[in-house]
Amino acid sequence: MSLAEQTRAAVREQPFLFDALRADVLNYTAAARFLEIDGDEEAIATALRRYGEELESYDEEPVRATVTMQRRVGITEAPDPDALLRLGEVGVEPDGPYTAISASGDVPPGALGSVCQRLQAAGIELAAAAGVDGELTLVVDNDDAANALRIVEDAVGSLPVPDGY
């Protein structure tokens, strides 16, 4: 495997580096030191630069999405077919200690991961989360609902949209 192929594989194992390459904000030399690749640091930095030039960049238009909140929901096993959210044998239904926050519209793939990272950084634990086909739904404790709503609105509104999405 060539050094360029090793570099690409290493970047794909580190999603934050991939995002930084696409956004054109990566310090190539620092990233070359970070990656565990045997080879010349300068050559790895050059491979990173070239890889970044080949990647599809983010569009400047922000995500157009609607964020809503529904309080007092619960997590249940074997949910009703009409549950608010179903994922396998688990569902979100009315009447419980949680709040469901949903974003729908032009929510790009990968938005769920970005939102979850921001919530984790804020110390907000998720009871459930799902993202499919331009929508995502998160379930948090009622006590964290207001802060989580603000974080989701900010995160979804500031996500870059890949070209052609």
| pLDDT tens-digit series, residues 81-106 | 777 777 777 788 888 999 999 999 88
Q: Which residues pair with 99 in a beta bridge?
A: 140
Q: Count CB-CB contacts under 10 A for residue 82.
A: 8
Q: What is the pLDDT of residues 117-133, one digit of tens each?
A: 999 999 999 998 888 88
CA nearest to 139, candidates 75, 78, 95, 82: 75
Q: Tell me what pLDDT residue 160 has.
A: 57
- Nearest-angstrom CA–CA distance, 110 and 134: 10
- For residues 157 and 54, the answer to whether their CB atoms sit within 8 Å is no
pTM of the predicted model over 0.85 = no
- Segments making up each domain of the chain, as ranges: 3-55, 61-162
**Mean pLDDT along residues 19-30:** 89
**CATH fold of the domain at 61-162:** Alpha-Beta Plaits (3.30.70)
- Nearest-angstrom CA–CA distance, 5 and 3: 5
